Amino acid sequence: MRRNPPADWLIPKSAEPTTQKPYKPRLLKPRLPTEQEKQELLDYCVRESGDTTQENRSNLEWMLFGGESPIVVFDDVAIYYGEYTGRLLVIVGDVDPTITETYLWLDGKIQNASLLKQRKLHKASSK
């Protein structure tokens, strides 16, 4: 059985085939946090806890930096749907790797990403 040639409107207008390159994600390389970033994280956690005593500060410092929890920072992260570009700090739990904390720098200040989302949702639901 012989086939008819394709209709003219099916033939691409350019001589080159139109193929898209597959999307290749950018490889983000983590690094260890600087001493300044560690201090910013500790100060933020102390403020959020509401207990500014030296004992609480020491406990938080040990919880964050004294165990085996990996802490890494990614520079120049671009999250398109969240419209965020900047640094991202991730802490992975040493007991359970499914427990993570994610922090972003917004307007030069470190913020807990999950708390930001909860606050946004709370604001939206209270309107």
3-state secondary structure string across 30-76: CECCCHHHHHHHHHHHHHHHCCCCHHHHHHHHHHHHCCCCCEEEEEE
Task: Give per-residue pLDDT as tens, 23-75.
Answer: 666 778 899 999 999 999 999 999 999 998 999 999 999 988 888 889 999 99
**Which 3 state secondary structure label does DSSP give 8?**
helix
Query: What single letter denotes the amino acid at residue 32?
Result: L
- Give the per-residue pLDDT at 38: 94
| Residue type for position 1 | M
For residue 84, the 8-state DSSP code is E
Asked if 85 and 78 count as a contact pair (C-beta separation under 8 A), the reply is yes
Q: Amino acid identity, residue 67?
A: G
